[in-house]
Structure 1
C-alpha cells in the first residue's frame, strides 16, 4: 500500500494544523466545553468555510468527493487539538442520507449540512441486552401515510444539538435479526421526541433520546425498511476509522508532551529523561503509536473494499488502536506523575479521550470477534 499523502491530502493536513494551532489552544477548548452547547458555533462556521463539511460527500452532492483516507487525515489533526465540534456525528448522519436516501432526501438534507446550517447525528445505540448494531428494540410500525417510531436511544453523540436524528428501528423480526432494521430521518423537534443532553468525561456531548409514538411520513425512511443494517454497518466502520485516526493524533500529542517533560523535569539532580528505564517507556509509547498508525492507514485505504476485507481491517485497527491508546495514555500519565491527572494539564484530557474513543460507535461488535467472523 502507498501511504504517501497526495498533494490534496498534504494541503488538507496543513490547513487543519493551522486551524488547531491558531484557534484551538488548550484554554480555548476548556472554555468551549464548559459552556453550552459544548462546541463553538464560530468554529462550526469555519468548518463550513474551509470545505470540511463537504469533504466526504460526492461532487454531485456538492461535496469534494473525499475518501475515508482524507477523513482520517483530518481526524488525526482533530485528535491533536482535542476538537469537540459535532463533525463526526453530522458526517455519519449525512453519509446515511447520501448512501441510502432518495434524490429528494439528499436535496433536502445535504446542502444544509455542507453549508453548516444543518446538523445530524446517528442514533443507533440502545441500553440493555448485548451491545451491537443488531440489538435494536426501537419499533417502527407501518401506519397510514407513514411510520410510527417508539423506543429509546442511549449515548447519542451530540444528540441534543442535532437538527435531524438518523434512527435505527425495527419493523419486524427478532431483536438481533439483521433483516428487519431500517434507518429513519427524525426531526429532532418532532412531537414525541424527548432529548436529555449531558457532558461526557472526554469533553464531548451526548444525549438520551426517547421516541414516544413519533409520527413520520413515508419520506422519512432511508431506502427499504429491512435494508438498514448493511448501511449502518458501513457507517460504523467509517466512524471506527475516524476514531482510530483521532486516537493517533492524541497519542502523538502525548508522546510529544511526555518527551518534552522528560527533557525538562529534574529529579535527584539530573533530568529524568536521562534514566534509561524512562527512555524505554517513551520508546514503547512510540512503537505502539506507529503500529496503530500503520493498521489505521491500511483500514482507511480499504474502506470501500468488499465487506469482509473492510470489516477485517477495521476490526484489526480498532483492536490495535485500543491497546496502543491504553499503553500510551497510561504511560504518559505515569511519567508525568500526579500532575498527569489534573484538569489543568492537557495530558489528562488526552488520556480521557483515548479512554473513550474505543467506546464511541463500537456498535458493530467487539473487534476481535468481528475480525474472526470476517476472516471466514
Structure 2
C-alpha cells in the first residue's frame, strides 16, 4: 500500500503549514490573536477561506474541492503543530460533515456557499449535562408543531458557539431519553428567537458555550435527513471529529517532541548538555515511539472513517482515540518532566501544547469510554 502523499496533497499540506506559520510565528502572536472578540481574528478565517480550506470536505458539485479525510487530516495536523485557534474542528469538521452527509440538495445549496467563502460558520451542539459521551442520551426535545418543530432544552460545552451562525443540534422527537430511535439533527440559526448562547474560554485557549433553547420554532426543512433516525448521522459526525482530533494531536505532539529534544541539547547541567545523559535520551526516544504510534493510528483513522461497515468503522475509530489519548498523556507528561519547571510556564509554548493535548484526551470521548466501546463491539475491531 502506498502511503506517500500525491502532488495535490503535498501542495495542500505545504500551503496550510505556511499559512499557520505566518499567522502564528510566536507564542506572543498566538496570545494576541486569542484576545479577539470571538477568540480569533476574522482575517485569519478569511485566509483559510481564500486558500480553499473551508471548501475542502464538500464535493465539486456543491462548489467544494472534493477532499477526503486524508486532506482534512493534513489541515488538522498543521493546526495542532501551530496551535491555531480558528474553529476548524467545529466548522470544517463537525458542522460541515453533518451538512455534507445529512443535508438535502436544497440545504446544501442554501448553506454550503457561505461555509466555503467563510461568511457562515457551523458547530455541533450535542453534549448535555447528563449525557457525558453517550450520543443517544438526548433530553433536548424537538416536538412537532404543525409542519415544523418546537425546540426546547440545553447543550453544554458547544465548541465556538459564539462564532457560529448555524448550530447543528441533536434533539429528541420521540421516545425516552436514552432511546436510540427518535433523535434528529436540526439546523438552528444561532440568532433565532429563543436561542441563548453563554460563551466562555476553555483551558487550552479555545472557546465553548452553554446554549439554551426556549420554544425555538423550526421549519420542517430544518431537519437533516430523517428527524427520528439521526443517531447514525451523529455517530458519523463524531467519528470524523475523532479522526480530525487524532491528526491535530499528532501535529501538537510532533511540535512538543521537537521542542523537548532542542531543550535537551541546549540545557546544561554539570557543564554538559542534559541531552548527553543516556537516561534522558531513552525518555526522548520513548516520546518519539509514542508519537509515531499515534501517527500510524491517525492515518488508520483517516482510512477507516468512511468505511461502509458501521461496526468496523466504530471500533476502528474507538481504537484510534484510545491510542491517541494515551500518547497525548504520555508525550505531554514526559515533555513537562524533561523540561523541568519551564515546562509548566505559560510564557513557554510547550506548556500550551501540553494543555491542548490534555484537552484532546477528553474531547469526543476519554480512554475509558472508548475502551468500553471496543469491548462492546463484538469483534468489530478484528473485522476492521
Q: Is the CA contact 2:95–2:122 (under 8 Å) kept in the aligned structure 1? A: yes
The alpha-carbon deviation at position 358 of structure 1 amounts to 2.4
- RMSD of the alignment, in Å? 1.4
Question: Is residue 287 of structure 1 aligned with residue 289 of structure 2?
Answer: yes
Match of 1:19 in 2: 19
- Segments of 4+ in structure 1 off by > 3 A? none
For the residues of structure 2 that align with 1:87 and 1:369, how far apart are their CA atoms?
Answer: 29
TM-score (norm: length of structure 1): 0.97
Match of 1:100 in 2: 102
Aligned residue among 362, 369, 372 for 2:372: 369
TM-score (norm: length of structure 2): 0.95
Q: Is the CA contact 2:78–2:248 (under 8 Å) kept in the aligned structure 1? A: yes
Match of 1:326 in 2: 329
DSSP-derived class of the 2:30 partner = helix
Q: 1:50 to 1:80 in 2, by over 3 A?
A: same
Match of 2:113 in 1: 111
The alpha-carbon deviation at position 364 of structure 1 amounts to 12
The alpha-carbon deviation at position 18 of structure 1 amounts to 1.0
Question: Is residue 335 of structure 1 aligned with residue 374 of structure 2?
Answer: no
The alpha-carbon deviation at position 95 of structure 1 amounts to 2.1
Q: Is the CA contact 1:236–1:363 (under 8 Å) kept in the aligned structure 2? A: no
Gaps of 5+ in 2: none
Aligned residue among 142, 145, 157 for 2:147: 145
Question: Is residue 317 of structure 1 aligned with residue 331 of structure 2?
Answer: no
Question: Is residue 77 of structure 1 aligned with residue 78 of structure 2?
Answer: yes
Q: 1:21 to 1:42 in 2, by over 3 A?
A: same
DSSP-derived class of the 2:313 partner = helix
Q: Is the CA contact 2:192–2:216 (under 8 Å) kept in the aligned structure 1? A: yes
For the residues of structure 2 that align with 1:124 and 1:130, how far apart are their CA atoms?
Answer: 10
For the residues of structure 1 that align with 2:21 and 2:176, how far apart are their CA atoms?
Answer: 50
Once structures 1 and 2 are overlaid, which stretch shifts more, 360-369 or 21-30?
360-369
The alpha-carbon deviation at position 201 of structure 1 amounts to 0.3
DSSP-derived class of the 2:376 partner = helix
For the residues of structure 2 that align with 1:179 and 1:2, how far apart are their CA atoms?
Answer: 41
For the residues of structure 2 that align with 1:365 and 1:171, how far apart are their CA atoms?
Answer: 30
Alignment of 1:299-314 (within 5 A): 299-305=301-307, 306-314=309-317
The alpha-carbon deviation at position 284 of structure 1 amounts to 0.5
Q: Is the CA contact 1:39–1:85 (under 8 Å) kept in the aligned structure 2? A: yes
CA shift digits 1:228-254 (9 cap, x unpaired): 100010010000000010000011001
Match of 1:7 in 2: 7
CA shift digits 1:184-203 (9 cap, x unpaired): 11110111110000000001
Q: 1:95 to 1:131 in 2, by over 3 A?
A: closer
For the residues of structure 2 that align with 1:247 and 1:145, how far apart are their CA atoms?
Answer: 44
The alpha-carbon deviation at position 5 of structure 1 amounts to 1.0
The alpha-carbon deviation at position 30 of structure 1 amounts to 0.8
Aligned residue among 212, 215, 218 for 2:214: 212
